Structure 1
């Protein structure tokens, strides 16, 4: 287990720090606000940051995606403030959870059970059907070594894929948004490949020299842009020299935004095929995202934000509302996309800069913590649960949870298995090698010519699928070897082992009988000398 004994000591991470806590949160909130406006460093308004359009499309990553004509989309939903993972994915069978949280623990009778030990917050009820259908995945205990408890630092760590001791100044996606091919400036694409909606940190798309992402800090700004074709009102300024200069700067910004037509066209062409909650800000941004995807904008990356998770006090009611907003927005989004099969091309991931401490504080809340669970959604996920619920008694210093999954391994798996980057390209982005995770169903894994080392065993699928009582699973072996083929449910429980022996080279078909299983999603896992592969099975009654 990783050593957490050297966590940075940060004044202002809990209410007991008094005025230091208030000042820390004021600075963090102000920085997030200014960054959302693009004012934090460069002074250029509304996230345009100079020439984002010209620099943005010269990214090697985006060139690879465009060259492969990839329709794959990643939607990142940031839960800003530090989400309390223990009250989101609840260890309801552990008496220690109720002992250390006597007044804020979720009653076991209210929990939506996923396994005999863990379940979802009751206001995440819309997720129950997504989980049951195998299009939702829970990852336990996600974090990193020697975690920072500062909003500033930990947010930057997640954005850069760095560490608390070496955050860096460029985002893990922004490193591929650098202007490294000047010849493309003469013929830039007519659409963006990445979009940020909301007030989240733009560091995600920060390159080594400039901020390259296309950002809309609020939905009203995007709506005005779609309706009028401009970002900023050039007329509504003070009749002063400063106002005249501001109008001039706004006119330059409006004229320099080359993606205007493509965003307008996609918004007008696309439509929402389901109803979204009208009073939910995240839902509004997700509805726009669905319209832009369906309208053919061509962006592969979206970054959305839901704030308010810094629950130092009165957590029960505040967190309940946030869980309701999150589940309503994402469930509507997934229902919308599933209507015409777009859910097969979109991967959604939630994340927060840190979790909360195990113990409740004296104000009915929780202070800054470390690891936490996160969710993934989409037709391409393996479904179920990955990782183990962190121990509530074997804690890191400060009463914090130890992490079991490094978030950078998750990033690496997305780049490799979802977007099809080669191992060398993933290493260039991440700066180091991290343990991959089986988050993408094997039938959805894309690859470039150099993505993997030669694979000697392949789990090619099953037929029929969906099926009622029996299906045939097919595997291909390049050489004789020992394999293990197992069937798991969405809780990660091994239901049966179909094969665990030496098998000769060639194509093999193995029958699986499911007469006694209820309808739902399951997955087959093939383990060989090449590693592990998974494939989703659907039983219908």
Structure 2
């Protein structure tokens, strides 16, 4: 598999000698994240024992705010009429309306098995419709960041609300930290969860159990754990290290020599050791994922960026034993969802990309015989206004999310999808901004409980506000997992 390297072929011998001292590793995200994790070894704040088997969580974060009431749309006749009215009518009228006509939703229609209500998945998402019909995908309705259960009166009095409502940066941070009353929180809920359990489930401290595709993120950052950042092609290795051509042999020899020396200075000694471990970790990671080839058949020859990223996640899951992990958390971010303009066209493209990638990924997980071991979920800054701004929609609050995997309770729309989306409904803050009826904390708590975290003081450390929504115990707060 092609790797990303960091040394150009016109590098001088002097540069090679300089890089051999360790600077190469510091400019490389995979190697740097290994070094940061090693530096925080044994600082976990708590332990959760008795975690057996393997489990993985995969977060697909839709940056910008997905207009998710077009992703999951009411189809029962009266409800659809209210939806169209709130969206300014049928988009095909060409007047800036944002509503999808029932005729376009017929092929992706689904029914909630409990309420009997009918919904339409966006017409560009037939793969998600297939997954829903297979019982491998479900929806969580009207989720948003909350400090506590919030009424319309509390919102209007601005009582104990998340900071910076309707702001991209604030709501992204709140989704990731689950501490929406603060802008100073520096750890995410998945990072704090990893802090608790990493010593019991990860036998390879050089590679974090939290892995991110292409970038660091707050969700996976803990007090003692940072994400291990890889690309769609795997961990970035130091260029020129390992190949057999002459200059590469020289570089490899120099690097091995520098990193194996006995240093009197403790800082130099520690730095050399960490560089050695980080370099070896990247190579061993790539060797492990390269062995997982059966998943490739489920991804196209020319995959989308998201498909490429999810393929690497599938390979990492398939290689978890070789990597040395019985729990893994993955993060991938997808941009392009801030559609103040051209909402209809942008959603057609964006949701199709997500749908195809999710199906490819779930098929690959099934191929690995790990259907019941992996749960994938979407997240996004916020929902968007139901009303049109004339071209698209604006920032709002509550929105709908997808949860996928063998453990989901299928055939259901979970949470509280509003009975009416008509303007002025009981949850309408104005312009079709909906007050969330399910909190990010409840969603995260259920994911964490499935993952193996007890709903006791450990959960309270991961989600400081959880007792505002859900008491201690063994039952799931929502029931979208079984």
User: Shared fold by TM > 0.5?
Assistant: yes
Summarize the Cα distance change of 1:379–1:229 in structure 2 as closer, same or farther, 3 Å threshold.
Answer: farther
Summarize the Cα distance change of 1:229–1:305 in structure 2 as closer, same or farther, 3 Å threshold.
Answer: farther
**How much has 1:211 moved relative to structure 2?**
6.9
* Residue 38 of structure 2 corresponds to residue 54 of structure 1: yes
Q: Counterpart in 2 of 1:215?
A: 229
Say whether the 8 Å CA contact 1:157–1:167 is kept in structure 2. no
Cα distance in structure 1, aligned partners of 2:481 and 2:432: 38
Cα RMSD after superposing both structures: 3.8
Summarize the Cα distance change of 1:98–1:377 in structure 2 as closer, same or farther, 3 Å threshold.
Answer: same
Cα distance in structure 2, aligned partners of 1:155 and 1:94: 30
**Given the alignment, which residue of 59, 69, 80 partners 1:94?**
80
Q: Counterpart in 2 of 1:159?
A: 176
What is the CA deviation profile of residues 403-452 of structure 1, one whole-angstrom value per residue up to 9, with x for unaligned ones? Answer: 11111111111112332434221111111334459xxxxxxxxxxxxx84
Say whether the 8 Å CA contact 2:298–2:363 is kept in structure 1. no
Greater per-residue helix proportion:
2
Summarize the Cα distance change of 1:381–1:532 in structure 2 as closer, same or farther, 3 Å threshold.
Answer: closer
Say whether the 8 Å CA contact 2:86–2:432 is kept in structure 1. no
Structure with larger RCO (C-alpha < 8 A, sep 6+):
2
Q: Counterpart in 2 of 1:372?
A: 399
Q: Counterpart in 2 of 1:143?
A: 144
Cα distance in structure 1, aligned partners of 2:208 and 2:194: 11
SS in 2 for 1:396: coil
**Given the alignment, which residue of 240, 264, 282 partners 2:306?**
282
Q: Could you tell me which runs of 5 or more consecutive residues in structure 1 were left unpaired when the two chains were aligned.
A: 1-42, 236-249, 438-450, 456-529, 537-541
What TM-score do you get using the length of structure 2 for normalisation? 0.69
Summarize the Cα distance change of 1:167–1:85 in structure 2 as closer, same or farther, 3 Å threshold.
Answer: farther
Cα distance in structure 1, aligned partners of 2:353 and 2:303: 9
Summarize the Cα distance change of 1:90–1:55 in structure 2 as closer, same or farther, 3 Å threshold.
Answer: farther
**How much has 1:268 moved relative to structure 2?**
1.7
What is the CA deviation profile of residues 205-237 of structure 1, one whole-angstrom value per residue up to 9, with x for unaligned ones? Answer: 2234x7722123x435x365499779xxxx9xx
What is the CA deviation profile of residues 456-494 of structure 1, one whole-angstrom value per residue up to 9, with x for unaligned ones? Answer: xxxxxxxxxxxxxxxxxxxxxxxxxxxxxxxxxxxxxxx
Summarize the Cα distance change of 1:534–1:81 in structure 2 as closer, same or farther, 3 Å threshold.
Answer: closer
Cα distance in structure 1, aligned partners of 2:238 and 2:374: 23
Cα distance in structure 1, aligned partners of 2:142 and 2:384: 12
Q: Counterpart in 1 of 2:123?
A: 122
Q: Counterpart in 1 of 2:265?
A: none
Say whether the 8 Å CA contact 1:409–1:436 is kept in structure 2. yes
* Residue 101 of structure 2 corresponds to residue 107 of structure 1: yes
**How much has 1:162 moved relative to structure 2?**
1.0
> What is the aligned length?
382
**Given the alignment, which residue of 165, 168, 172 partners 2:189?**
172
Greater per-residue strand proportion:
1
**Given the alignment, which residue of 378, 381, 394 partners 2:408?**
381
